[in-house]
């Protein structure tokens, strides 16, 4: 199978007026807005078929399609930006889901939840991830911080089975950031880390200024606990917190040491399968969005 990469989607949402031509289950049939999606590939072949669909969260937090479905599909051509416009009921908890198919097989997917879609223009940046490849991802809720502000970094995984232990080292700009702590939790108060009741992560600040700081994190389940399986929706394992020290550009990235960082193991201490693929996505050199690098500004 050929590999196809899309770095991001830039989504612009704006209101264009009312429309009562569709009977949606949300009871908002008289308040529709127009969602315009611009998809710009970094590299792909003409065989990539893209399906874009709008979902919503129901009262139980489940991702549910509208009835009738709100979706569009098209075929990408090399180095061309494709635009798609959908009509969406105004309201809370809207989700943009994007899937990429190569010769009929689902190979890429991504989604983002929008807290509210209404009268004000908003934008979203969606990264499409490969199907079935174990991924370790670091993420932060924003990219601009003020001196003295805490910088939370979530450590996430997706597409993993039988996960029992995690070891990962983070390098960071020591002159701009100060390591505070690591907690087995998620930033979302409604989400819990599978390691929250197991051994706490271990933090070591190994280097001195001006060399890069280094944070070593180890997590493991305890005896009697089940292993962790995470599908295509990412699961937060821990939050590493830094403090922004002084203005300037700063970077936090996963340190790559084959067989040591990152290391995802099963209950027998054996590495999970396809970890070579995992490392390729942390800091790729071919234009793909890195999953293991965060660049922030302190100002």
* Domain range annotation of the chain: 8-130, 135-298
Residues β-bridged to residue 97: 53, 111
Would you mind telling me the total number of residues written for the chain in this entry?
299
Q: Which two tokens stand for residue 9?
A: 């989607």
CATH fit for domain 8-130, picks 3.90.10.10, 2.60.40.150, 3.40.50.620, 3.90.600.10:
2.60.40.150
Q: What is the C-alpha separation between 5 and 279, in angstroms, rounded?
A: 16
Supply the pTM of this predicted model: 0.70
Beta-carbon count within 10 A of 219 CB: 24
Q: What is the C-alpha separation between 225 and 159, in angstroms, rounded?
A: 20
Please list the helix, strand and coil fractions of the chain in percent, rounded to the nearest 5, in that order.
Answer: 5, 55, 45
- pLDDT tens, per residue, the chain with 299 residues: 444 445 455 555 555 544 434 444 444 445 888 777 777 665 555 567 889 999 998 888 788 999 999 999 988 776 677 788 888 888 888 888 888 887 777 878 888 888 888 777 777 777 777 777 888 999 999 999 999 999 999 999 988 999 999 999 999 999 999 999 999 999 988 888 988 877 666 666 655 556 788 898 989 888 788 899 998 788 999 999 999 999 999 999 999 877 678 999 998 889 887 777 788 788 877 556 788 999 999 99
Q: What is the C-alpha separation between 123 and 277, in angstroms, rounded?
A: 30
Residue 69: per-residue pLDDT: 92
Same-fold call for 8-130 versus 135-298: yes
Q: What is the C-alpha separation between 56 and 278, in angstroms, rounded?
A: 30
Fold of 135-298: Immunoglobulin-like (2.60.40)
Tell me the helices (H) and strands (E) count for the chain, helix number first. Answer: 1, 21
3-state SS class at 167: strand
Q: What is the C-alpha separation between 19 and 285, in angstroms, rounded?
A: 46
Straight-line distance from the first to the last Cα atom of the chain, in angstroms, rounded to the nearest whole number: 45
């Amino acid at each position: 199978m050929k590999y196809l990469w899309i770095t991001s989607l830039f989504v612009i949402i704006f209101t264009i007026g009312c429309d009562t031509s569709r009977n949606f289950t949300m009871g908002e049939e008289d308040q529709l807005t127009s969602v315009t999606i611009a998809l710009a590939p970094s590299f792909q072949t003409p065989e990539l078929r893209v399906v874009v669909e709008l979902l919503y969260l129901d009262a139980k937090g489940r991702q549910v399609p509208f009835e009738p479905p709100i979706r569009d599909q098209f075929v990408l051509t090399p180095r061309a930006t494709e635009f798609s416009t959908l009509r969406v009921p105004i309201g809370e908890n809207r989700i943009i889901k994007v899937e990429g198919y190569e010769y009929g097989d689902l190979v890429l997917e991504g989604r983002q939840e929008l807290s509210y879609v209404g009268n004000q223009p908003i934008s979203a940046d969606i990264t499409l991830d490969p199907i079935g490849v174990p991924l370790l991802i670091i993420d932060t809720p924003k990219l601009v911080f003020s001196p003295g502000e805490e910088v939370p970094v979530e450590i996430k995984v997706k597409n993993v089975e039988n996960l029992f232990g995690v070891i990962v080292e983070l390098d960071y700009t020591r002159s701009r950031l100060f390591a505070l702590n690591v907690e087995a939790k998620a930033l979302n108060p409604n989400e819990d880390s599978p390691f929250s009741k197991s051994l706490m992560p271990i933090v070591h600040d190994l280097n001195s200024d001006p060399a890069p700081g280094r944070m070593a994190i180890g997590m493991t389940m305890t005896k009697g606990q089940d292993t962790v399986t995470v599908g295509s929706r990412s699961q937060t394992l821990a939050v590493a917190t830094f403090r922004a020290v002084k203005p300037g550009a700063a970077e936090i990235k996963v340190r790559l040491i084959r067989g040591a960082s990152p290391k995802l193991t099963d209950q027998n201490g054996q590495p999970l399968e396809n970890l070579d693929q995992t490392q390729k996505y942390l800091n790729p050199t071919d234009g793909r969005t890195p999953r293991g690098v965060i660049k922030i500004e302190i100002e």
